[in-house]
Amino acid sequence: TDFAAEKDDTVRVRIIGKAGLTPETTPSPEEREAIRRLEGHESLLLKGGDGSFTYYFPLTNRETCATCHLERGQKEGEILGAVSVSFLPEYLRERFRGEITSHAVNVLSVWLIGLLFIAIGKRTLTKSFREAFMREQEFRSFFEQSADPVFMTTLEGDFLDANDAFLNLFGYAREDLETLNARDLYADPSDRETYLKTLLEEGKITEYPLRMKKRWGDELTCIVSASLKRDVDGKPVGIQGIIRDETEKESLIQRLSYLETCINQSTDIIIVTDPSGTIQFVNPAFEKVTGYSREEALGETPRILKSGVHDEEFYRNLWETITKGESWRGRFTNRRKNGETYLEDAVISPVTDEAGNITGFVAVKRDVTEQVQVEKRVEAAQRMEAIGRLAGTLAHDLNNYLGAALGFAELGRKKLGEGRPAEEVTANLDQIVSTIERSKDLLQKILAFSRKQPAEPKVIDVNREIETISAMLKRLMGEKIRLDLFLKEGLWRTKIDPAQLEQVVTNLVINARDAMPEGGVITIETENVELDEQYVKTHPIVEKTGRYVLLSVADTGRGIPEEIREKIFEPFFTTKPEGEGTGLGLSTVYGIVKQNGGYIWVYSEVGKGTTFKVYLPATEEPLSEEAGREREEALAKGKGELVLVVEDNDDIREAITGLLETAGYRVISAPDGETALLNYPEEVKKINLLLTDVVLPKTSGKEVADLVRGVNPGVKVLFMSGYTENIIAHEGLIQEGLHFISKPFSAASLWKKVREVLDS
């Protein structure tokens, strides 16, 4: 009899007899085959063509059935028929709402009332059905709750069922399973045949790698474990399995492999340490540069590279920086395994976990030894090239100074001949002195550029310095250009070498002049300014807030095009024709300003003009002594000490002798040391100071000093030369650190230095 579930046919229970006692119990050919296959089995599960599943439970002839069945020739234990329970899989049940259990109970209730012989097999049928139902429920629970994709297919690849994880992985909806075939999921369809062949041969497969694809073609790297489903005869009828998506893992492995390749092929040194600084990893570049193998480095600390150049404070600051969670940047002088030292630029950064705890450190280093050597050679070559290119301009400027001095001298002599007042002649003499001072400053600039002569910063009043050089600036500009000065009263003081400040102003004025070939106006302005946080944020070149002295030089010239504005401070960059510009003016200005802790900013508009703004840090220190005051104070410092002057140039020797005598010193002089000892054998034993040139025709200044000390061990010595002190010391002509004064020098500078040495 066929009992359908109420309101639907999701579950169908049917009783069939082997002999077919009634038309309703007469088996179909498929059911007859199922009864035949039940021999020796408690149950049988078969899949129908419509996708449904049917459980078959045998009805056997027992002793209680003998009255009816033995008369018909049927033996005890013989299968008389079966109970079939048919149901649809989950994905075909959407239109149904009844539960299998309630259907089964309802049907079984009707069946028990209607059929007497069911009472005979009731216990067996109920137990078998319950066990089958429970097996279905357990499998369904695992099937649906599994986080991994689970599937069931026929051998041909048609899907019987799949869980949500499977559908989500491949991008299909549940209704797609009706038409989906496993072949649709293979990136290479031929892999399906290999996979199926292996499965049929072995019965199951574990961790089988397959390239699969999603609904829209995206490829997946999968690991499949599967087994065959067999019927009661052991014949394979389907496949059930589980899939693990390894795509992300494979991608991660590929990325890690690529990263490892990059690290190993990098020309930069890479070192990884643990939190205590013990080396955990080094790349091949480390081995190549340092000479240590990876095996030698692992377990050591980076101190195996220590050269001894850096003190403990250097390493302590480094360690404090990185253990605070910050990156450290700097340059090491390290030592290779073979003992050679090398330079490396390094960035050392902490490695942290998700909680922010430091788990180690990574250092990226670059060997810059050769680069630094090349830079030094290029720098030296550029300096020599610059000196050559500057020669014409400097000769022109020096000739101008000498011409002015000569003119003032002749003018003074003429006035003396005419009997003019002494103050007029004195004015001309002051102009000569000023011009010679500027000639000296010009030479000092050349020395500073070519030989790195150090600057001598002083606390100055910028207004006063500009006023001092304003006459010279006007001569530089010519008649077509007007110079306007707007100098702020009460200007704050700043600390800079006065010669450097003059160089800054002069270069900016010359640059402005050249931008106005037809004439115009140059405006020099000073002002007190305070740069706040907002200004610093909007002006990247400014690093610190605070009080600054602002020096502006503006012109009404052609302006600077935007495309070259960023290049104007580069050395040798010039827009002037060949031979008319060195390209060093603005780069020199930039270098001086930065050297003194300041900033320079340029505003320009094509066709309207340019303004350079120089910000120099203000200082509370008192002004340095003025030259006049130095001269007056120094004059009173001579105490009759005896000084020996050794100088081979007669004019210079005579001038120095006169200046020292004017200051209250007693002086004897000679062109060389031998002559001094010959002419003044007794006086040399009594002199308080030897003032000698370093380079002399017969013997060096050092040898003269040795000769004099031979007869006067306690004598003080002051060396002088037109070369810088660094050059003299480098050549071994005097010992570094001895008293030295550079020629040409002013009277005040000479008096001050002599007094300083005598009092030392």
Is 225 in the same domain as 204?
yes
Q: What is the mean pLDDT of residues 695-719?
A: 88
Q: What is the mean pLDDT of residues 253-279?
A: 87
Is 465 in the same domain as 531?
yes
Is 583 in the same domain as 656?
no
CATH number at residue 125: 3.30.450
In a domain, residue 589? The reply is yes
d(CA 452, CA 595): 13
Q: Please write the tens of the pLDDT for every residue from 304-320.
A: 999 888 888 889 889 99
pLDDT band at 716 (very low <50, low <70, confident <90, very high): very high
In a domain, residue 445? The reply is no
Contact by Cβ (8 Å): 441, 449: no
pLDDT band at 290 (very low <50, low <70, confident <90, very high): very high
Residues 6 or more apart in contact with residue 425 via CB below 8 angstroms: 412, 415, 416
Long-range contacts of residues 61-69, Cβ cutoff 8 Å, at least 24 apart:
62/120, 62/121, 64/120, 65/117, 65/120, 68/117
Is the pLDDT at 731 greater than 60? The verdict is: no
Residue 102 amino acid letter: S
CATH number at residue 293: 3.30.450.20
d(CA 256, CA 259): 5
In a domain, residue 306? The reply is yes
d(CA 708, CA 705): 5
Is the pLDDT at 104 greater than 60? The verdict is: no
Which of 90-99, 573-582, 715-724 is predicted least confidently? Answer: 90-99
Is 36 in the same domain as 97?
yes
Domain edge (last residue) among 367, 402, 431: 367
Nearest to 82 by CA among 131, 52, 42: 42
DSSP class of residue 270 equals E
Q: What is the mean pLDDT of residues 686-697?
A: 89
Domain edge (last residue) among 332, 367, 402: 367
Is the pLDDT at 470 greater than 80? The verdict is: yes
User: Going by DSSP bridges, is the β-strand pair 642-646/666-670 parallel, antiparallel, or unpaired?
Assistant: parallel
Q: What is the pLDDT of residue 686?
A: 92
Max mean pLDDT among 40-54, 266-280, 405-419 falls in: 266-280
Q: What are phi and psi of 531, to 5 degrees?
A: -95, 120
Contact by Cβ (8 Å): 508, 589: yes
Is 333 in the same domain as 247?
no
Residue 642 amino acid letter: L
Which of 70-84, 491-505, 507-521, 573-587 is predicted least confidently? Answer: 573-587
**Beta-bridge partner residues of 553:** 524, 612
Please indicate whether residue 361 or residue 427 has the higher confidence score (pLDDT): 361
Q: What is the pLDDT of residue 68?
A: 52
pLDDT band at 500 (very low <50, low <70, confident <90, very high): confident
> DSSP 3-state assignment of 486?
strand
d(CA 601, CA 569): 11
Nearest to 691 by CA among 705, 710, 712, 677: 705
Is the pLDDT at 95 greater than 60? The verdict is: no
Is 662 in the same domain as 706?
yes
Structural domain of residue 316, as residue ranges? 266-367
CA distances from 196 to 182, 200, 246 (A): 11, 6, 21
Contact by Cβ (8 Å): 424, 415: yes
Please indicate whether residue 298 or residue 435 has the higher confidence score (pLDDT): 298
Q: What is the pLDDT of residue 271?
A: 92
In a domain, residue 87? The reply is yes
Is the pLDDT at 432 greater than 50? The verdict is: yes
Q: What is the pLDDT of residue 327?
A: 92
Q: What is the pTM of this model?
A: 0.37
Q: Tokens at residue 459, please? A: 């606390």
Q: Which residue has 């041969």 as its token pair?
A: 201
Mean pLDDT of all residues belonging to the chain: 79
Q: Please write the tens of the pLDDT for every residue from 442-467.
A: 666 565 555 445 567 889 999 999 98
Q: What is the pLDDT of residue 109?
A: 42
Is 84 in the same domain as 189?
no
Is 236 in the same domain as 316?
no
Is the pLDDT at 115 greater than 70? The verdict is: no
Contact by Cβ (8 Å): 358, 351: yes
Is 486 in the same domain as 609?
yes
H or E stretch covering 514: helix 498-514
Is 234 in the same domain as 272?
no
In a domain, residue 395? The reply is no
Is the pLDDT at 123 greater than 50? The verdict is: no
3-state secondary structure string across 397-458: HHHHHHHHHHHHHHHHHHHHHCCCCHHHHHHHHHHHHHHHHHHHHHHHHHHHHHHCCCCCCE
In a domain, residue 74? The reply is yes
Contact by Cβ (8 Å): 617, 491: no
Q: Tokens at residue 433, please? A: 């002195």
In a domain, residue 399? The reply is no
Is the pLDDT at 579 greater than 50? The verdict is: no
Q: Which residue has 């017969």 as its token pair?
A: 698
User: Going by DSSP bridges, is the β-strand pair 358-367/341-352 parallel, antiparallel, or unpaired?
Assistant: antiparallel
Q: Please write the tens of the pLDDT for every residue from 345-403.
A: 999 999 998 888 999 999 999 999 888 888 777 766 666 665 565 565 566 667 767 77
Residue 426 CB neighbour total at 10 angstroms: 12
Contact by Cβ (8 Å): 478, 513: yes
Q: What is the pLDDT of residue 759?
A: 86
In a domain, residue 442? The reply is no
Q: Tell me whether the omega of the peptide bond preceding residue 622 falls within 30 degrees of 0, making it cis.
A: no
Residues 6 or more apart in contact with residue 698 via CB below 8 angstroms: 672, 673, 674
Q: What is the pLDDT of residue 278?
A: 94
Q: Please write the tens of the pLDDT for every residue from 611-665.
A: 999 999 999 888 875 544 544 454 447 788 999 999 988 878 888 888 888 888 9
Domain edge (last residue) among 79, 113, 145: 145
**Beta-bridge partner residues of 527:** 550
Is 121 in the same domain as 38?
yes
Domain count, the chain: 5
CATH number at residue 502: 3.30.565.10
Is 333 in the same domain as 306?
yes
CATH number at residue 711: 3.40.50.2300
Residue 716 CA neighbour count, 13 Å, CB half: 16
Q: What percent of the chain has pLDDT over 90?
A: 29
Q: What is the pLDDT of residue 45?
A: 73
